[in-house]
Amino acid sequence: MKIGIVGCAGRMGRMLVATVLETAGADLAGGTEQPGSEAIGQDVAVLAGGDTTGLAVGDDPAALFQQSDVVIDFTAPAATVAHAAMAAETGTALVAGTTGLASEDDAALAQAAERTVILRAANFSIGVNLMLGLTEQVAGLLGDDYDIEIVEMHHRHKVDAPSGTALAIGEAAAKGRGVNLEDVSERVRDGITGARRAGDIGFATLRGGDVTGEHSAIFATDGERIEITHKAANRGLFAKGAIRAALWTAGQPAGLYSMRDVLGFS
Ligand code: NAD
């Protein structure tokens, strides 16, 4: 399967290139970067720490979509929306890991999914997807005398907050409780906030160092606390999950899919 990587010089982009090159059944179709990037013209694989492949980093994503069966995108929201339109135009599948998308960006991806396969995940690790299912289940079993708080920590370079994964955990908890996250979400607390509202789902964001990604869903009531925690040790697991997802798209009908479809978690 021919896999293209947009944003191939990024932290995730390099990891994706390296992982495609070592995955049986996956061929690297090429990589692109945004116009003006110093990476343009350099060998895609050398940038990723490997041997030369003769494939130079390009700045023409439309051409990359033409040459690929599936394109993997861990870039930035505006770029991912533009790439989804190209995927719809060419019928190429898109695996999108970018986080921080606004609701209108989500709508643009859903529209593209009417014409091609769009697979989105805020987190491509198996463990986090298991955690989403567990959080939904636990939230459904416990009443709202259990306060739900979601805590996440990431490296100092991360630009969006709370993380897409923290929000996905919040969505799972809200779904378990049968409520809309938007109605109960408490994303920032500062100053004299008053007492906690029953039923709220709170978020706390920590940033620092080189932390790849840590998430906890906390269920706290009088006398006890349950915590479900996931810690990612390196980005390799996201890249492996994204490539597994890319291979899974072969032969799927157009539609919007998630990592839970790939893993068979209901
Ligand atoms: P990064 O800043 O290191 O890399 C992003 C790359 O995208 C950069 O090289 C940038 O130049 C490139 N880019 C931006 N606009 C582009 C365009 N129009 N065309 C081509 N390239 C473009 O960031 P990162 O740490 O690799 O993370 C990227 C995204 O992936 C973030 O949104 C992050 O939250 C998300 N992420 C998701 C998961 C997951 O499992 N879903 C895991 C890790 C990171």
- Residues 61, 74: one domain? yes
10-residue mean pLDDT series, the chain (266 residues): 98 97 96 97 96 95 98 98 98 97 97 98 93 96 96 97 96 98 97 96 98 97 98 94 97 96 84
Cis check for the bond before 162: say yes or no (omega within 30 of 0): yes
Tell me if 42 CB under 6 Å of ligand 1.
no
Length of the chain: 266
Which CATH number does the domain housing residue 209 bear? 3.30.360.10
The DSSP symbol for 232 reads E
Cα separation of the two ends of the chain: 27
Residues 145 and 221 in one domain: yes
Ligand 1: which of 74, 105, 211 to mutate, most ligand atoms within 8 Å of CB?
74
pLDDT score of 266:
64
Q: In this structure, are 227 and 241 located in the same domain?
A: no
Domain co-membership, 221 together with 250: no
DSSP structural state of residue 227:
E
Rounded distance between C-alpha atoms, residue 112 and residue 253, angstroms:
13
**The predicted structure's pLDDT at residue 176:** 97
Same domain, 131 and 186: yes
Do 46 and 107 have their domain in common?
Answer: yes
Q: How far is the C-alpha of 73 from the C-alpha of 62, rounded, in Å?
A: 13
Q: What gap in Å lies between CA 100 and CA 89, rounded to an integer?
A: 24
Residue 262 corresponds to which amino acid? Answer: V
Q: How far apart are CA 54 and CA 68, in angstroms?
A: 17
Structural domain of residue 213, as residue ranges? Answer: 126-232
In short, whether 165's Cβ falls inside 6 Å of ligand 1 is no
Work out whether strand 70-73 and strand 2-6 pair parallel, antiparallel, or are unpaired. parallel
At residue 264, the pLDDT reads 86
Please tell me whether residues 183 and 166 are part of one structural domain.
yes
Whether the Cβ atoms of residue 131 and residue 153 lie closer than 8 Å to each other: no
List phi, psi (to 5°) of 98. -60, 140
What CA–CA distance (Å, rounded) separates 52 from 130? 37
Same domain, 197 and 243: no
CB atoms within 10 A of CB 96: 27
6 lines ligand 1 (CB under 6 A): yes
Prediction pTM value: 0.90
Ligand 1 within 6 A of CB of 65: no
154 counts as catalytic = yes
Total count of domains within the chain: 2
Task: List phi, psi (to 5°) of 18.
Answer: -60, -40
Pick from 8, 12, 59, 83 the residue to mutate for probing ligand 1's pocket: most ligand atoms within 8 Å of its CB: 12
Distance 79 CA to ligand 1 centre (A): 9
Cα-to-centroid distance, 11 and ligand 1 (Å): 7
Query: Which tokens hold the place of 94?
Result: 């898109």
Catalytic residue among 83, 157, 158, 230: 158
| Residue 59 contacts residue 88 (beta carbons within 8 Å) | no
Domain CATH for 12: 3.40.50.720
Take atom 4 of ligand 1 and give the residue whose Cα is closest: 10
Counts of helices then strands in the chain (DSSP H, E)? 10, 11
| Residue-level pLDDT at 194 | 97
The answer to whether residues 7 and 116 belong to one domain is yes
225 and 239 part of one domain: no
Q: Are residues 205 and 249 in the same domain?
A: no
Tokens of 218: 């906390």
Beta bridge partners of 228: 217
158 catalytic per annotation: yes
Q: In terms of domains, do 8 and 113 share one?
A: yes
Per-residue pLDDT, 265: 76
d(CA 101, CA 1): 28
DSSP state, residue 91: T
